[in-house]
Structure 1
């Protein structure tokens, strides 16, 4: 279905992504992990064509994606919707209008300027918000919502594109543990219920293991691991992150139970000092 072959991106003398090769032969949820600067975001941006590759190919059902231009490029970008860490909403615009912006590629500039959307699209936007549990916030300004709610609005906007892929670049990095779980559960349901492929850049190992069918590890621009969640052992994680024996998964956990246990252990340790 999707083949990424020796994909490379150079910025001057720096190689951000180095001959990355990845095959996605069926809809699945993939988590990409690695330390900051490993090339995760650049890889997603190349898949979406927000960034042009320096070398290599992206093939979708045998069609070359990296050479698409104009309307064909825009159509491809609609097929692989991007979700960003910072939500990228219009803060002073109401929630439903933000979601409707997912249809901009299908409407004229004039209609977009005056927020003139078909009633069918408005109903669909509200249905998607309802599916994500935030329909009651449709008339509110986006800036009035919590971070987790704003990220769900961003997911709803992506779904308005009716994409084949959802590319999520650190979708929970700026969220508290409770909202992080809500957002990851939403992405997982979208994969399972819609049959869409979701590729998400993640920082935490427990999140990748819990929600993803497949985990890809990147280090210094290269893919150094590609396997099942259960194969992501602590030893493998150390290799991906370039860490020594002091590396602790608990320190990166987003699980509320783990965080509570860590907090309790810290308090007990402080009480003995």
Structure 2
């Protein structure tokens, strides 16, 4: 389905992504892990065509994506939806209108200017919100919602595009453990129930192991690991993160039980 061939991004004399190469032959949930600055976000931005590659190719179902321009690139961005860490919602706009923004690429300029939506799209937006457990929030302003709820609105907006691929750039980095779990459960359900490919940048090993079918590790712009979650040992993690023998997975965990245990240890100390 998806193939990256020596995909490279340079900013001046700095190489942010260095000859990234991998193939995905079926819809999967893929986690990309690595330290900040490893090139994870740049990789997703090239996949979505928010950023142009310096070298290399992206192919999806045999179609060359990395050279698309104009309307063809916008059509690809509809098929390859993006979810961001900071939600990218319109704060003062109601939730359902934020979700309907997922249809902008297929609406006329006139309809966009006057905020006109077909009833069919409005019903679909509410159905998606209901699926994500937040239909009752539809008439509220986005800014009135919690962070976890706002991220689910962002996921709903992505689903309005009916994409083949969902890219999630650190979708839980700014969320508490409970909301992080709700958001990751939602992404996993979307993958399993809809058969959509989901590629998520993640900071934490426990999240990658729990939710992903495949994990790709990046370090200094290069892919240094590509395998199953059970192959992501502590030793492999040390190599991905460039850490020493004192590396502790608990320090990067978002699991509620791990955090509870850490707090208990602090109290006992």
Instruction: Report the TM-score, using the length of structure 2 for normalisation.
Output: 1.00
Deviation at 1:196, TM superposition (A): 0.1
Q: Secondary structure at the match of 2:174?
A: coil
Q: Secondary structure at the match of 1:167?
A: strand
Aligned to 2:111: 111
Query: Partners in 2 of 1:249 and 1:238 — Cα distance?
Result: 10
Deviation at 1:31, TM superposition (A): 0.2
Aligned to 1:242: 242
Where does 1:9-88 land on structure 2 (aligned, <5 Å)? 9-88=9-88
Where do 4+ consecutive residues of structure 1 move more than 6 Å? none
**1:177 to 2:177 alignment:** yes
What is the number of residues matched between the two proteins? Answer: 269
Aligned to 1:255: 255
Where does 1:112-127 land on structure 2 (aligned, <5 Å)? 112-127=112-127
Query: Partners in 1 of 2:64 and 2:111 — Cα distance?
Result: 32
Deviation at 1:112, TM superposition (A): 1.2
In structure 1, the gaps of 5 or more residues are none
Q: Secondary structure at the match of 2:140?
A: coil
Q: Secondary structure at the match of 2:72?
A: helix
Aligned to 1:167: 167
Query: Partners in 2 of 1:66 and 1:25 — Cα distance?
Result: 19
Residues 138-157 of structure 1 show CA distances to partners (whole Å, capped at 9, x for unaligned) of 00000000000000000000
Where does 1:135-146 land on structure 2 (aligned, <5 Å)? 135-146=135-146
Q: Secondary structure at the match of 2:243?
A: coil
Query: Partners in 2 of 1:202 and 1:187 — Cα distance?
Result: 13
Query: Partners in 1 of 2:26 and 2:268 — Cα distance?
Result: 48
Deviation at 1:197, TM superposition (A): 0.2
In structure 2, the gaps of 5 or more residues are none
Deviation at 1:222, TM superposition (A): 0.2
Query: Partners in 2 of 1:139 and 1:120 — Cα distance?
Result: 17
Query: Partners in 2 of 1:61 and 1:145 — Cα distance?
Result: 38
Aligned to 2:216: 216
Deviation at 1:129, TM superposition (A): 0.1
Q: Secondary structure at the match of 2:154?
A: helix
